[in-house]
Amino acid sequence: MKKWYIASIIIIIAGIVIWFTSRPGDAKEEQTAFFPQVEKVHRGSIRVQVSTTGTIEPINKVEIKSKASGLIEKMTIEESDHVNKGDLIAKLDQRDTKNSYDQSVAELHVAKASLKQSESDFKRKQELYKKGLIPAVEFDQAELALVQAKAQVVRAQVSLDNNDIRLKDTIVRSPISGIILTKDVEEGQIISSGISSVSGGTLIATVADMRQVYVKADVDEVDIGKIEPGMIAHVVADAYPNEQFTGKVIRIAAQAKVEQNVTSFEVTIQVDNPTGKLKAGMNVSVEILIADKQNVLLVPNEALMTQAEMMREIASLKMAMGESEKPNKTGNGQQGRPDTQRKKPEQNNSGQTSGLNRGVIIKQGNDFRPQLVKVGVSNFDNTEILEGLHEGQQVVYTFFSRAKASSDQFRKRIMSRMSMSSGLKKRKSK
């Protein structure tokens, strides 16, 4: 029984092989399994965008420090508060600076009084000197005392002004209108001056004008050549997925940066933020509009080829259609090379191919010919045609492989035979 079972399997396999190798229609199926897929050149709209991600950064950000050193007595701000230019941020202990200021005021009063006395003494001695009642030495001494009194007034005034500045420096005010991003100190903390300290002084707070913001986005080097300053960009924050903000490209970095073997360039986009919804550090999605064209000639991206690709594909088409078996006759009746070896891509009307940098295969009836074209912008699906084609022409853009068709047919036959043999085994086992 076992020998009979093995012999049955061998007979079935041999039958399958003979059936595959002896079918007369296989050659015909292979020849008809290769067909070009075509599409008409049509007019339509094309929108090209470069998508990336970025973060929000303030345009005008100021770190607030104090010119004076001392103890913070009062803080009037918290993070996210809105402040106007000149609003109080912090107040330092003023006792020492106030004492120096008051002393300068008193010294100025004394200097002015002394000046007044010196002026009166000078006038009196001047009259006496004119009448010859006092010697010249005494008059000169009176004149010197007057000059010294005037100088003392100037010194006292300068001292008062300096102490007034130091007193005002103990009150820290906002230099701009904006939002408090960070609050870095608290009441009771001793801070150092931002002017006299070697370390640059203690940071009190950071304020930024957020009515306009920057979006810093990294664009892949493949797309950076498409972007130019002034292009419109649409920004959507992760926090507001249903709201779109509009900006424009203002700067493209000249130096690339490489992270994890990916080369990119930083693009800066200025975005209006009148409502203040965009916060510093937010993550955003960015779409930079490269082109938005209407009523232009379009072809599928798959239809575009190089000259070498066009000639190779046309030769394959000719062979698939059976034309490779038809010899070409020359003028003297001799056989020549196939027409696909001689045909050149068509030029434009002026006979020049400059600017026609890509090509397509045009289908005319049962004939195929190469055509150089000048392309414009392209997206994931279509490419704009600037020159070389006109509306309604048919271009080849996909081929069905004979090998793939034969492979599919072979797979179906195998599955069918396996199903048949499986049924036969079941019947035999019964």
Task: Supply the DSSP symbol for 122.
Answer: H
Measured CA to CA, the distance from residue 247 to residue 132 in angstroms comes to 87
Predicted confidence at residue 343, as pLDDT, reads: 47
- What is the DSSP secondary-structure string of 238-278? TT-TT--EEEEEEEE-SS-EEETTEEEEEEEEEEE-TT--S
User: 143: Cβ–Cβ under 8 A, 6 or more apart, which residues?
Assistant: 122
Residue range 42-59: mean pLDDT, rounded: 92
Q: Say if residue 366's pLDDT is above 80.
A: no
Side chain identity, residue 420? M
The CATH fold of domain 65-204:
OB fold (Dihydrolipoamide Acetyltransferase, E2P) (2.40.50)
Q: Say if residue 350's pLDDT is above 50.
A: no
Whole-model pTM? 0.61
Predicted confidence at residue 12, as pLDDT, reads: 63
User: 151: Cβ–Cβ under 8 A, 6 or more apart, which residues?
Assistant: none
E strand or H helix at 206: strand 203-220
Residue 242's region, left for phi above 0, alpha for psi from -120 to 50, else beta, is alpha
Each residue of 140-153: pLDDT tens digit? 999 999 999 999 99
Q: Residue 364 — very low, low, confident or very high, per pLDDT cuts 50/70/90? A: confident
Domain parsing of the chain, residue ranges:
2-24+404-429, 50-58+211-292, 65-204, 304-328+336-399
Q: Say if residue 318's pLDDT is above 60.
A: yes
Residue 249's closest CA among 271, 222, 268, 223? 268
Instruction: Output Rg (C-alpha) for the chain, integer angstroms.
Output: 45
Residue range 189-209: mean pLDDT, rounded: 88
Each residue of 220-273: pLDDT tens digit? 998 999 899 999 999 999 999 999 999 999 999 999 999 889 999 999 999 999
Q: Residue 33 — very low, low, confident or very high, per pLDDT cuts 50/70/90? A: very low
Residue range 333-361: mean pLDDT, rounded: 48
Of residues 353 and 202, more confidently modeled: 202
Superfamily of domain 50-58+211-292: Efflux pump adaptor protein, beta barrel domain (2.40.30.170)
Identify the residue whose tokens are 């008062």: 160
Q: What percent of the chain has pLDDT over 70?
A: 75
Token pair recorded at residue 380 = 């994931």
Residue range 197-207: mean pLDDT, rounded: 87
CA max distance for the chain: 164
Token pair recorded at residue 332 = 């003297």
Residue range 30-36: mean pLDDT, rounded: 50
Q: Say if residue 104's pLDDT is above 60.
A: yes
Each residue of 148-180: pLDDT tens digit? 999 999 999 999 999 999 999 999 999 999 999
Measured CA to CA, the distance from residue 280 to residue 214 in angstroms comes to 9
Of residues 282 and 199, more confidently modeled: 282
